[in-house]
Amino acid sequence: METAIEKLKSLKIKVTRSRVELLKFLMDNKGHFTAEDIFKRLQAQYPNLNLASVYNNLNLFDEHGMIRRLYTHREKAVWDADARAHAHFVCDVCGEIFDLDLPLIPEKYYLKYSGSFKVSHEEIIFRGICNKCAKKENI
């Protein structure tokens, strides 16, 4: 498995301590996090880390395809440490995000629009109520 430093170097991204620690966190903790979640979890270990740096590096990692920014119903951006193509289910009650493995949409479905735009990636988000919340609400 590629280390955080190797990954940054392979993408020609300047290696800094905050980038390495943030990337290590994302590599070790697959899931969906806000920048604030990550900052809170790393702050005790790295007191010099600041929230602006976390946001800036998350955006940088997203630009390089290392993570994905999700646009869910939350007011804050959520970052997915799993950069592979996959769909999501968002619970409208608790806000939890679940990964869904779905086949990729065949290129033929969006090629007919190729004159209007170029598809860079797919983002499919299903919304509803998760089983846990449905049981609590007797749905």
Helix, strand, coil % in the chain, rounded to nearest 5? 35, 15, 50
In which residue ranges of the chain is CATH 1.10.10.10 found?
Answer: 4-70
pLDDT of residue 26: 92
pLDDT of residue 137: 81
Q: Model's pTM, two decimal places?
A: 0.77
Interacting residues of 37 by C-beta distance below 8 A, sequence separation 6+: none
79/112 Cα distance (integer angstroms): 30
CATH 1.10.10.10 fits 4-70, yes or no: yes
In which residue ranges of the chain is CATH 3.30.1490.190 found?
Answer: 84-136
Instruction: Assign domain 84-136 to a CATH class.
Output: alpha beta
Query: pLDDT 10s digit of each residue in the chain, 139 long?
Result: 678 899 999 999 999 988 999 999 998 988 899 999 999 999 989 888 899 999 999 999 999 989 988 876 566 788 898 888 788 999 989 888 999 987 766 666 666 666 667 667 677 889 999 999 999 888 7
Q: Are strands 78-80 and 32-33 parallel, antiparallel or unpaired?
A: antiparallel
pLDDT of residue 73: 56
pLDDT of residue 119: 67
